[in-house]
Amino acid sequence: MASMRPSLYALALRPDNGPFIRVLATGDSHDPTLVDDWTDAPATESRGHASVYYSDVAALEHDSPDWHLLLEVTPELITLYPIIPRATRHDYAHPKYNSITSIIVAAPKYAPYSIPQDRDDVEGVLASLPRGLSKDWRFGLGFLYEYRYIPDAISQLGGVDTILIHGSDGGNDARVDGHLFVLGQNRLEDLRSKLDRLSQRHQRETAADKNLVCYTGLLHHAAPYLYPPKAKKLPPNVLADLTSLGRGPSRLSRSDQHSAARLVHDNVDVMAKTERRTLFNLKAEIELVTLGELIEVFAKMLTSNAKEAQWQTFLSEHPFVLDMAFGYPVKMIAERPYVGGKSFTGRGGQYSDFLVAAKATGNLALIEIKHAQHDLLGKLYRNKTYMPSEELTGSVAQVISQRALVHRNILILADELDERVHAHAVAAIIIIGRTPDTREKQRAFEQYRNSLKDVLIVTFDELEERLRSIHRALVSSPPTVPIEDDDLPF
């Protein structure tokens, strides 16, 4: 035989036979507007009315302040006034649900409520309430404890003090109408079912987790060869259920982000067969977000006066940024490569910042990284044009010398590389400074850098703008023709 709930057991032991109710039946009393709007019950000749009062203490006098209105019944409507039912509580007889002081339940179609005359009649009327509502007046009425989340959510609405539950047209209602929150019985049943499923799933998962903890902490720990580690078995649709509960993107903690990424990584082989389009779109979205974050880091480094060593580290970690300096795809060959120049005493060796090669041909290129805050131009020459700065001309001379050493020592240098490279026409690129801000300086800068032979000068501003151009192209409106699974690259 099922055991009695502790709360029922406590009531059964009360020597005063409490709690108590008092039924006061009266004549006609109703709100005809509310009745006409929200009930399907047919009109009745008798508009009877009953008020039911509650007390957790013996209150023999009818006018005692210990009686509290709990329930009102007309043929068309039941109005519940959910209260804290125990006199031992400091908030005894206060509303259960903060600002929600009443719950109205419209009569079902063609079944008007009977007007109760005594305790048995009250319990008969309450038995007809929708599932999810408490039908035992001894516990203060309202929603069953496991469904308290429904009134708690509605109580957050300002100006709403009443929940009206109806089964007429609009059974899926969930809307505000003045001081009422109108809730259709179909939606109430759907919410109740979802809450039940969540509770049941939580109970099953808790039991499985407890078994797994004991297995790992006892059997696996004591005899790992006999009892190998077990992975947590996720129930079907667990992620789908979790992410479908709300609207909008789900926000994950850092540990959850790591777990989600690991979960996709562990299942990528299977997902590549069943969710190819999802994986393809995810890959594109990740690349887009990563590029956007990279641009923001680049911009912050420009404004924070980052040192050459910091730029060296940044570009070595994101070598594809260097592709922006070329008109063709390149691959990284070496960072801080030795390009030659040592004497017999070991002195005089030269090192570049990056050595790259064209992906298609293997033709080498040297890249020199200078400070982003270096001036590109010097003083005004004869009031006509600006001279290139000493840092700029020195950088050009440096990279030309390095290129000559590469040409001279290519056979020895290439022999030490795993990549097949060539020195057909070694390109030389200098990334330096910011684009001049005046028209005259821009003209002088362009005239100087375009007069150089086989040396390309690129400013940090230009690199940033090339990255932003690519990002703008990627975030533009999607193609009108959807990508089919057969068109995907995996």
Task: Name the DSSP letter for residue 145.
Answer: G
The pLDDT tens digits of the residues spanning 460-470 come to: 888 888 888 87
- Residue 171 one-letter amino acid: G
pLDDT reported for residue 30: 47
Report all structural domains of the chain as residue ranges with CATH numbers, in order of start. 6-193 (no CATH), 305-458 (3.40.1350)
Residue 60 CB neighbours (<10 A):
9
Upper half-sphere CA count for residue 20 (Cβ side, 13 Å): 18
pLDDT at 120 > cutoff 50: yes
Q: Which amino acid is at 394?
A: G
Residue 13 per-residue DSSP state:
T
Q: Which of 134, 106, 105 is nearest to 192 (CA)?
A: 134
Neighbour-count burial for 388-410, b at 16+ CB within 10 Å, e otherwise: bbebbeebbebbeebbebbeebb
Q: Is the pLDDT of residue 38 over 50?
A: no
For tokens 């009422």, the residue is: 180
pLDDT above 70 as % of the chain: 74
| Region at 258 (left for phi over 0; alpha for psi -120 to 50; beta for the rest) | alpha
Q: Give 108 or 288, the one with higher predicted confidence.
A: 108
End-to-end CA distance of the chain: 60
Q: What is the pLDDT of residue 320?
A: 74
- In terms of DSSP bridges, do strands 330-335 and 354-358 run parallel, antiparallel, or are they unpaired? antiparallel
Round to whole Å and give the CA distance between 56 and 70.
12
- Locus of tokens 């667990």: 238
- Name the E strands within 193-232: none
Q: What's the whole-number mean pLDDT along residues 219-242? A: 72
Which residue is listed with tokens 């044009």? 385
Q: From residue 297, give the alpha-carbon distance in Å to each of 293, 311, 342, 373.
A: 6, 11, 38, 17
Edge-first strand order for the sheet with 77-80 is 20-26, 49-55, 68-73, 77-80, 102-106, 162-166, 180-184, 174-177
Give yes or no for residue 384 having a pLDDT over 90.
Answer: no
pLDDT band at 133 (very low <50, low <70, confident <90, very high): very high
Amino acid at the residue 42? P
Q: pTM, whole model, 2 decimals? A: 0.49
**DSSP letters of 239-294?**
HHHHHHSSSSPPP--HHHHHHHHHHHHHTHHHHHHH-HHHHHHHHHHHHHHHHHHH
The three-point CA angle 476-478-481 to 5° equals 150
Residue 197: the pLDDT is: 83
| pLDDT score, position 239 | 57
Instruction: Using a pLDDT cut of 90, give the percent of the chain over it.
Output: 11
One-letter amino acid identity for 34? L
Q: What's the mean per-residue pLDDT of the chain?
A: 78
295-308: b or e for each residue (b if 16 or more CB lie within 10 Å)?
beebeebbeeebee
* Listed range (103-117, 174-188, 472-486) with the worst mean pLDDT: 472-486
Instruction: Give residue 361's pLDDT.
Output: 87
How high is the pLDDT of residue 104? Answer: 92
pLDDT higher than 90, residue 82: yes
* Number of helical (H) and strand (E) elements in the chain, helices listed first: 15, 17
Output the pLDDT for position 329: 77
Could you tell me which residue, 32 or 435, shows the higher pLDDT? 435
